[in-house]
Amino acid sequence: MSESVLAARLPQMLADLETLVTRESPSSDVAAVAHSADVVAQLGAERLGSKPEYVVVDGCTHLRWRLGDGPRRVLVLAHHDTVWPLGSLATHPFTIEDGVLRGPGCFDMKAGLVMALHAISTLPSATVTLLVTGDEELGSPSSRELIETEAAGCSAALVLEASADAGALKLERKGVSVYEVRITGRAAHAGLEPELGINASVEAAHQVLAVSNLGDAELGTTVTPTVLTSGTTRNTVPAAAAFFVDARAWTVEEQLRVDEAMHALLPVLPGNSLDIIGGPNRPPLERKMSEELYARASRLAADLALPALRSVAVGGGSDGNFTAGIGTPTLDGLGAVGGGAHADDEHVVVAELAPRTALLAALLTDLMDRP
């Protein structure tokens, strides 16, 4: 599919993107996500010529198009939820000025969703699955099984998450693990008889330091204590404390090492008890799962006379971690070029929408012709 064909579609793509961006869809609001799903379903039906299947899991609305009559060899993966709360349009309105499009969720990742709809719509007999989930920004708690089921047996999963800097594709993503360390001590009056208490705050301090030492800078493994809570009043020995931990690693081996170490933590102060909750949330997206697809995309970019592709490794996770984790070759970061995800400066470079969509259409065609 030539870039000129997609360039002619650019006004429609921008109109579609405005439709999606102006329907706010914060992940934590299942009603807003459901309303957004209706808008995506209607727009997708117009572009693809068929209605999606609604898949509601734990109250969260996901959409699935299974297109074509033959075996579906490719999974195209997107999400329509965002981190932006309802009312964000009042302070961050949809605008297009000087070739830059802005609005909550435009870059992460409603532009990628529009690109997917238009790329697939240009293919006369696409045998693909388009899955649009509604809880990616929460870690995909209700959609993970759905994603893995749809990816199983596919020759490729193409993830329309936004690109990295200057349009780079994401060939590696760290695996993500999430923990909560709960500490139980014993309360006592801090002035009258503190010796009768078992101080959960002091235990938490020991555990925070222990957890911080589980990382490995040489291997790129990070283990970061984050939110910490403890105690009830100023003059009471804390009977309980808790803190969350964000752990990230490039390899499954490192992810499992950290998991074993987290669950092996022991109390330092006599009388305290620990409860370690959580574990790996997303497996790593390792480079070996992306290299062949990246080589294909690079060749196709050259055929389309597009600039040479670039690749990066990133610490953030996506649903591409799940598809790679079950053994499906995965290429991530195929979405919009821009920046400012989750931030006030979130934006999309308009001039890159058509060429990126042309590349996606060419990659889909190539994968269906030569799986």
**How do the domains of the chain map onto residue ranges?**
3-173+284-369, 175-282
Mark whether 136 is an active-site residue.
yes
Please report the pLDDT score of residue 42 as a whole number. 98
**Fold exhibited by the domain 3-173+284-369:** Aminopeptidase (3.40.630)
* pLDDT > 70? residue 54: yes
The catalytically annotated residue of 136, 161, 259, 286 is 136
What's the confidence (pLDDT) of residue 340? 96
Comparing 56 with 125, which gets the higher pLDDT? 56
Q: What percent of the chain has pLDDT over 90?
A: 94
Nearest CA to 197 out of 180, 212, 184 is that of 184
Per-residue pLDDT reduced to its tens digit, 279-316: 999 999 999 999 999 999 999 999 999 999 999 999 99
* pLDDT surpasses 90 at 125: no
Q: Give 351's pLDDT tier (boundaries 50, 70, 90).
A: very high
Q: What is the pLDDT of residue 341?
A: 94
324: Cα within 13 Å, side-chain hemisphere? 31
pLDDT at 197: 97
Residue in 81, 135, 172, 203 annotated catalytic: 81
**For residue range 99-118, what is the model confidence (pLDDT) as tens digits?**
999 999 999 999 999 999 99
Model confidence at 6, in pLDDT bands (50, 70, 90)? confident
Is 205 a residue whose pLDDT tops 90? Answer: yes
List Cβ<8 Å contacts ≥24 apart for 198-202.
Answer: 198/237, 198/239, 198/269, 198/270, 198/271, 198/272, 199/237, 199/238, 199/269, 200/230, 200/231, 200/238, 200/239, 200/240, 200/241, 200/272, 201/230, 201/231, 201/238, 201/241, 202/269
Instruction: Check residue 1 and give its pLDDT.
Output: 54
Res 330 pLDDT > 70: yes
Write down the pLDDT at residue 275.
98
Question: In this prediction, what percent of the chain has a pLDDT beyond 70?
Answer: 99
State yes or no: is 148 an active-site residue: no
As a whole number, mean pLDDT of residues 11-27 equals 98
Q: Which CATH architecture has domain 175-282?
A: 2-Layer Sandwich (3.30)
